[in-house]
Amino acid sequence: MEKDIASRLATLGHPQRLAIFRLLMRRYPDRVAAGEVADVLALKPSTLSAYLGALMQAGLVTQERQGTSLRYSMNMTEVRRTFDYLLNDCCRGRPDICAPAPTLKGGPDMADRTYNALFICVGNSARSIFAETLLRDIAGDRFTAWSAGTRPFSELNPFALEVLKAKGHDIAGLRAKNVSEFTGAGAPVMDFVFTVCDRAANEECPAWEGQPVTAHWSTPDPVKAEGTDAEKALAFQHAYGALRNRISIFAALPFDTLDRVSLQAVVDDIARETGEAGA
């Protein structure tokens, strides 16, 4: 095992191989197409192939063919073995010096707690606004919900606002916000952070204070829909329906009985088991 660890650390010692590792960790449990990785990190296909080959040889990344494309994901069994080895060998198993201390814990004492949740997209004009509004209305006072964009538009998408009004949601007070509002001094500490678009999930972000449970709930971008106004409106209805399904399941979870590991597994499963849905 020690030989494997040395090889893996050497592999991750290269900045661009480390960047691929970090990107795939952010997207886990998704499998990411090679072309998407290349676009995000501005790598030539031949260079990316060599780096992915090294990561696979080290046992850190797995490859799967889906149709005509190759998709990549973290080999979490081996990644965990690597981290466990470092914790137990280098830190002598002392969580007080090596392991993070997450703030979110389950148990009966948390039954009456109000949780903070943030939904992130790039533009913060449609999908993340849908998610913020849905969680606020479905979960009531169990959650305080926000949304933000990494590069937010100045105005919310009019099709998105029409969908929300048609569904009976109060749109007063909704606005596009920059994610920086939730990372500075005095910002609320998040219990959950969700990305709802692939571009936001792929971006390098600083670690969140308090180490919230995070997940990627990829949702097709209705803003990119083409055609008539009716066809565009239908794309927004689909995005709203997909997020409504996920958030309904999420809001119904027994948070007081789930520990952090279980919560993380559940929110990942929600993304895998619920697809795009109609309104």
Alpha-carbon distance 18 to 263, whole Å?
27
By percentage, how much of the chain surpasses pLDDT 70? 89
Alpha-carbon distance 218 to 156, whole Å?
20
* Model pTM score: 0.74
Residue 278 forms part of a structural domain:
no
User: What pLDDT score does 112 carry?
Assistant: 64
User: What pLDDT score does 83 carry?
Assistant: 85
Question: Is the pLDDT assigned to residue 68 strictly greater than 90?
Answer: no
Question: In one letter, which amino acid is 60?
Answer: L
pLDDT band at 9 (very low <50, low <70, confident <90, very high): very high
Same domain as 125, residue 73: no
Same domain as 148, residue 256: yes
Average pLDDT score over the chain:
87
Domain final residue, candidates 94, 124, 155: 94
| DSSP secondary structure, 15-65, as one string | HHHHHHHHHHHHHTTS-EEHHHHHHHHT--HHHHHHHHHHHHHTTSEEEEE
Task: Say how many domains are in the chain.
Answer: 2
pLDDT digits (tens, 9 = 90+) for 107-150: 444 556 789 999 999 999 999 999 999 999 999 889 999 999 99
Alpha-carbon distance 276 to 57, whole Å?
35
The structure tokens 């999930």 sit at 201
Question: Is the pLDDT assigned to residue 100 strictly greater than 80?
Answer: no
β pairing state of 143-149 and 69-74: unpaired
DSSP tag of 67: T
Residue 100 forms part of a structural domain:
no
Question: Is the pLDDT assigned to residue 219 strictly greater than 70?
Answer: yes
Residue 197 forms part of a structural domain:
yes
User: What pLDDT score does 93 carry?
Assistant: 64
User: What pLDDT score does 95 carry?
Assistant: 62
Q: Give which of 269, 143, 254 is closest to 215, Cα–Cα.
A: 269
Residue 103 forms part of a structural domain:
no
Domain final residue, candidates 66, 94, 122: 94
Q: Cα angle at 188 between 253 and 23, to 5 degrees?
A: 70
pLDDT digits (tens, 9 = 90+) for 145-165: 999 999 998 899 999 999 999
CATH number of the domain encompassing residue 120: 3.40.50.2300
Same domain as 265, residue 174: yes
Residue 128 forms part of a structural domain:
yes
Alpha-carbon distance 183 to 190, whole Å?
10
Question: Is the pLDDT assigned to residue 279 strictly greater than 50?
Answer: no
